[in-house]
Structure 1
Amino acid sequence: MTSVLNIPRGPEDVTPTWLGAALGAGVDAVEVTPIGTGQTGATYRATVTYAQQSALPTTFAIKLPAQDDAVRERVALGYRSEVEFYTDVAEKVAIPVPGCFHSDITDDGTDFVLILADMAPAVQGDQIAGCSPVEARLAVEALAGLHGPSWCDGVWMQLSGIAMPKPGDKDAAKGMGDVCRMAADIVIGRLGSSISSEDQETLTAAMASVTDWLMAEPDRYALMHGDYRLDNMLFDPDRTRITVVDWQTVGIGLPARDLAYFTATSLESAVRAEIERDLVADYHRVLLGYGVEGYDLETCWADYRLGMVQAPLLVALGTAFASTTERGDQMMLAMLSRGCRAIRELGTLELVSSYR
């Protein structure tokens, strides 16, 4: 839904007048406070006082671009992807996401706004600490609600905000492979002293395999979150419900890439190795419940092994090209170590080689 309202440049522009017009309600006052730790966007909680009694919530999450102009320009495609997801995709899939009350974006994609349901008291996952088996099960079952309803449906190829090469696009796969090789060199040059020699070798080899990896299994695809990890998940305090956020990296590709990326980066390695077979089985079971046919568990397991390259790929791109923070570096190092170990333990690079 596109509006004629001005898009807030920053939180100071989220005024009672603007918010009231966006919500279609009289607003007397609004208090805006920052929440979250996003590096490519900025999220705020808006606490609203209405002019008269309203059925609308009294708090919202408002998402705006990063306040750094250079970052805005670099990730404009991601902003377009997220707005497109909430306006054109969210109601057609079954993954749990916040409700969207208003969305708008400029033609060049550098300014946007989303007014989303405030999911408090749900709390954000901790990427560095990792999650519990209970949280992991919630995450993989929720993921099937994205992949199942979009399974091998070519209609999604028409989305304009796709962030990753589409299945079977050889030129795009080669271009991504070249970028990933460069990103690996940047990461090792900047953080190499904190990365084991074994992980450096795995990272370099994995990024060298990206072109072949992207061309593997092009006929099996679905909508992908693209960055399906703990920092992009909100858990209710009793751990019975999950909400998935941050849809700036929506793609179309081998569905198990999302699954593998989640387990590799969001679970401690020993926990991942102990429970991953069960998690893949849980995901597969729920996936079939959405009508997916001709996809047996062993093929799902093979796709899961193959999908592990998603972990170092996103870590390398994020580390090389996104703004850096101390926590961000710590997070990327933890994710890289876990992801590289998973690749070695599951024989992922050998599997990629079998497609050449």
Structure 2
Amino acid sequence: MVDFPRSEAEISSVWLSQVLGCPVSVQGSERIGVDEGFTGGGLIRIILEDCSMVVKLSPQDVNLRTVFAAANAREVTFYQLSVGRGLPVPACYFGAFDAENGASILLIEDIDTQRSVSFLTGCNVAEIREVTQVLAQVHSAFWDTEVAKGLPALALLEEFDFARMWAGYSAKVAKLLPDVVLPERFVALGDWLAGETREIFMRMMVGPQTVVHRDAQVDNVLFGEGAVLLDWQFMGRGLGVHDLAFFMISSVVPEVRRGIEDAVIAQYHGALGDNAYTLDQCRMDYLFGAIWRLFITVMATTQLDNASGHKRDWRRADLVRLIAFFEDHEIGSECF
């Protein structure tokens, strides 16, 4: 068993001094956020004598920790890969994962001076531009590198059986969001994906490979002098523009998205600096990103804790925006 704190009470001055390599004294701690996140993990701000840091712990619930063990391991791996690359992510001072029980810990930079944006409100044009730029920065840092090629591409398909989740999705939506009606075309698309999940996602992997976030939505972004990307649990290898699509679908109200979408895709493509990857291909790959968004939406609706009123409102906004994207682009199985 790997030795590190599993709970807030176990985070001591002695442990922190050991991992930081210098003596520090814990003055106090506070939990960040009213709810634990959808995946059940905890964020704790550790207050030291002259600064503060954030500790991210895996879920205390054994079943939830088991479900997200691979995700916790991936996030630790990402922060280890990010060291020294100057990426728009928090600095990481320590990370560890225990394969025996799925527990993990991250000790990262506290960027509490940055501001968050409400998922329900969505991003404005300036914020969209900022996120587009930092996504391109991360993707270009790993663009067609051996590091990216060495990461798994479709691990989430092994961890979460889409066909099984989809079978219970409509009933789950009816219970959580009785006012939302799933369009027939949307249901048909889900049926198609459930029948050929791996084959469809394999087709989506053709193109330049990079490190992708796979949960690039505004709850995982902080804004200040520049945007900072958080929560890398679903990271892996894939096409970078899928992250952009994910963000535009989930974190931008449809009225705003429709007015800026083409310009944002062009901005992202230009920031990559790869002349061999055409803008037309980038636009086509962008549409494919909606399939990843559907996968994650179904997983989150059927597998995560959505009991609170805030989380139900979150699920409603997410689904309504996804349906609008499919309708705006007339996306059906025939498109792929």
Give the TM-score of the pair, scaled to structure 2: 0.89
Change (3 A) 1:253 1:279: same
1:52 maps to which residue? none
Establish whether residue 45 from structure 1 lines up as the match of residue 45 from structure 2.
yes
Establish whether residue 315 from structure 1 lines up as the match of residue 297 from structure 2.
yes
Work out the CA distance in 2 between the residues paired with 1:61 and 1:190: 36
Work out the CA distance in 2 between the residues paired with 1:339 and 1:329: 15
2:220 maps to which residue? 232
1:256 maps to which residue? 241
2:151 maps to which residue? 159
Q: C-alpha root-mean-square deviation of aligned residues, in Å?
A: 2.4
- Structure 1 residues without counterparts, runs of 5 or longer: 50-56, 166-171
Instruction: Give the drift of 1:178.
Output: 1.7
2:89 maps to which residue? 97
Change (3 A) 1:183 1:282: farther
1:54 maps to which residue? none
Preserved CA contact (<8 Å) 1:183 1:320 = yes
Instruction: Give the drift of 1:256.
Output: 2.0
* 1:195-206 aligned within 5 A: 195-198=180-183, 201-206=184-189
Instruction: Give the drift of 1:94.
Output: 5.7
1:219 to 176, 196, 206: 206
- 3-state SS in 1 of match to 2:25: strand
Q: Deviations over 1:94-140 (max 9, x none)?
A: 64000011111212352111110111210223111101110111101
Instruction: Give the drift of 1:202.
Output: 4.5
Establish whether residue 9 from structure 1 lines up as the match of residue 6 from structure 2.
yes
2:230 maps to which residue? 245
Q: What percentage of aligned pairs have identical amino acids?
A: 24
Instruction: Give the drift of 1:337.
Output: 0.4
1:78 maps to which residue? 71
Q: Deviations over 1:24-45 (max 9, x none)?
A: 2222333110114522211111
* 1:140-219 aligned within 5 A: 140-153=132-145, 155-159=147-151, 163-165=155-157, 176-198=161-183, 201-210=184-193, 211=197, 213-219=200-206
1:297 to 279, 283, 291: 279
Q: After TM superposition, where is structure 1 displaced by more than 6 Å over at least 4 residues in a row?
A: none
- Structure 2 residues without counterparts, runs of 5 or longer: none
2:32 maps to which residue? 35
Work out the CA distance in 2 between the residues paired with 1:244 and 1:260: 16
Work out the CA distance in 1 between the residues paired with 2:270 and 2:192: 30
Preserved CA contact (<8 Å) 2:149 2:210 = no
Preserved CA contact (<8 Å) 1:7 1:105 = no
Work out the CA distance in 2 between the residues paired with 1:91 and 1:131: 29
Q: Deviations over 1:129-174 (max 9, x none)?
A: 1011101111011111222232334543433697435xxxxxx69x
Preserved CA contact (<8 Å) 1:31 1:47 = yes
Q: Deviations over 1:66-99 (max 9, x none)?
A: 2222211110011000001111x21375640000
Change (3 A) 1:21 1:94: closer
1:345 maps to which residue? 328
1:168 maps to which residue? none
